[in-house]
Structure 1
Amino acid sequence: MVSISRIKDLGKKIPLSAAVTEIIGEDSQGQRIDNFLIKRLKNVPKSHIYQLLRSGQVRLNSKRIGPQYHLQSGDAVRIPPIRMVESSVSLRKKLPASGFIRFNVLFEDEALVVVDKPPGVAVHGGSGVSFGVIEQLRAQHPEWKFLELVHRLDRETSGVLLLAKSRAALVELHRQLRAGTMVKRYLALVKGKWRNPKQNVTLALTKYLTPTGERRVAVIEGAGEDGMRAHTVFTLKKSWQNFSLLEAELKTGRTHQIRVHLAHLGFPIAGDDKYGDFALNKELARRGLEPCLARMFLHALTVELIHPLTGKRLHLEAPLADELQQFLLGLNSN
């Protein structure tokens, strides 16, 4: 059996003439196989890794496997011959201290760290972003030997973001997400006057690519073969003549779920540049206008979870960002 660690040789192109097999240990138990491969093959494009999975070139216990599979201790992962490039320059590249973002830490212990993510900051690097939240925190805290995102927030969404500081904590928190025992609530300001005090919305979603190659999500009628069931509970908090403030509780955690559900119902989120009312967004962002809104009004307000080590219930809350507070005050004064 060949250890995957033998394929690393900094600064050289390495043709693998034979497949590499790794036996999964407890440190990787519960991790999705696509994330496992992305982490192991850091300089291989993600698109190529997913192609290897789709084509069956990656095998798990001698069988084909999809990217959603969660690894178990003792699994044998076979990685086919791959031509990799490991760059000693890129591996040594560090974020300079002058580029550090100061995050408001809501909670931290040996199992997890919870930050109030500011708007406009991606949770991870990619798509033209060199350093997202996780890269920032890894650079700022090299003493943290393990750090992984528990969940994600869209770039323009602010609020509570969870990161695990151990593999065991990550596995347990992912279990809570799948089981629905972790409760996540958001605040969203939408165009229009919402009528129902509380409304359950269950609409299936599907992903697609625009003609320019941008990834988007849309509602489909019924959970067909390509549909993902998505359930959101909306509670009306306050309404104005042209806007409504809603609390959105996620019962499932699909990509862009809140944004797409609201847009489909005819209540797009103010400032949403993908699914919103673009003419309204332009007007709201116009300088000199009171109140002015230059970002999407979506904020991850609270997360409730069971601490992965102590078993105690944690309630984590991020105060509404200042610019969103100011916009609401402007609505109140009109």
Structure 2
Amino acid sequence: MPKSHIYRILRSGEVRVNKGRIDQLYRLVQGDLVRIPPIRVAEKNEVSVPAAEFSIIFEDSHLLVIDKPAGVAVHGGSGVSFGVIEQLRASRPDAKFLELVHRLDRETSGLLLLAKKRSALTSLHEQMRDGHTDKRYLVLAVGDWKNKRQHVKLSLHKYTTADGERRVTVAADGQPSHTVFSLLRKFEKFALLEAELKTGRTHQIRVHLASSGFPIAGDDKYGDFALNKALQKADATRGALKRMFLHAHQITFTHPESGKRMTLNAPLAAECDRFLQSLGPALPH
């Protein structure tokens, strides 16, 4: 069953634990009584999933870390019949276990962790929940960014639009969210930032920047739509940008078996690098 369907019945309060409503964040404990409503899923024609391999950053018997391209969903659902996980499983039919450790937006490129053993999945989930991983992104913000290092703490509320699209907005009663932005390069109308996630909320970097007045170049949900349209067209002085400029470039975690601290990097996607070069030399900051 699609995860979106499961989240929908959770949101509607149809799943009960000990006769009370719960949300998807609730963690079951021994002795809980769980009530699940009858669920009927329409018969679907089997979708043929094309096998695919992606650029591998690291692989061993416990982990697979790839460099996901922009425009590819991490899993099927919400109008997408398959994603990275389904394609990798199709290309590795002998793999007994292969699960996503975390997710990236379809429009975001960069490091994506997959577990090849359940013990690795459990270990990495615990590290992420306890704040023992370090995820960093490269992002091109629109506007005159001033500070070398800036903390953004805005609570975020997740909701679904009438047409089923996931959206996030800043709300006082939302989930606490914290991003640290460091200025790497400054241009006349843009700033290249490194975003360090202190929490891992849906669309966190995108909404934190947009709400602060510095939308991400190419962001089709929270960005400057007129500017995005202009950026898609190359001219004599500037290359085109036909995607959102957000790239998961570094992650640090403890290897689930060896216990060694690991830092992995993925180079900036070629199309983002080309656009950056077209902006010319950076300004002093």
Question: Normalised by the size of structure 2, how large is the TM-score?
Answer: 0.89
Q: Report the counterpart of residue 308 of structure 1 in structure 2.
A: 256
Q: Residue 15 of structure 2 contacts residue 22 of structure 2 at CA under 8 Å; is this kept in 1?
A: no
Deviates more, 1:50-59 or 1:155-164: 50-59
Superposition pairs for residues 1-334 of structure 1, below 5 Å? 42=1, 46-47=4-5, 50-51=8-9, 54-55=12-13, 57-59=15-17, 65-71=22-28, 77=34, 79-83=36-40, 90=46, 94-95=48-49, 99-220=50-171, 222=172, 224=173, 227-288=174-235, 290-332=238-280
Number of aligned residues? 281
1:59–1:79 Cα contact (<8 Å) kept? no
User: How far apart are the structure 2 equivalents of 1:300 and 1:202?
Assistant: 20
Cα deviation, 1:214-236, whole Å, max 9, x if unaligned, reads: 3211112x3x2xx1110000000
Compared CA separation, residues 324 and 45, structure 1 to 2 (3 A): closer
**Runs of 4+ off more than 6 Å:** 73-76
- State the shift of 1:100 in Å: 3.3
Shift of 1:82: 4.3
Deviations 1:176-210 (A, max 9, x none): 11111100000000111211000111100112334
Larger helix proportion of the pair: 1
Match of 2:189, as an amino acid?
N
Aligned to 1:38: none
| Conserved 8 A contact 2:140-2:246 | yes
Contact 2:73 2:83 in 1 (8 A): yes
User: 1: CA distance between counterparts of 2:116 and 2:29?
Assistant: 20
Q: Secondary structure at the match of 1:69?
A: coil
* Structure 1 gaps, min length 5: 1-41
Change (3 A) 1:243 1:55: closer
Distance, in Å, in 2 between the alignment partners of 1:171 and 1:181 is 14
* C-alpha distance 307-116 of structure 1, shift in aligned 2 (>3 A): same
Shift of 1:237: 0.1
Q: Please give the per-residue CA displacement for 1:51-95, whole angstroms capped at 9, x wherever unaligned.
A: 2685455546x77643223345786655454446666x63xx542
**Shift of residue 128 of structure 1?**
2.2
Larger Rg: 1
Query: Structure 1 residues 200-209 or 152-161, which shifts more?
Result: 200-209
Distance 1:243 1:82 in 2: 49
Looking at structure 2, the residues matched to 125 and 82 of structure 1 have their Cα atoms a distance apart, in angstroms, of 19
User: What TM-score, normalized by structure 1, do the two folds share?
Assistant: 0.77
Percent identity of the aligned residues? 57
Is the 1:187–1:298 Cα contact (8 Å) retained in structure 2?
yes
Cα distance in 2 between the residues matched to 1:202 and 1:52? 28
SS in 1 for 2:280: helix
User: How far apart, CA to CA, are the structure 1 residues paired with 2:263 and 2:256?
Assistant: 13
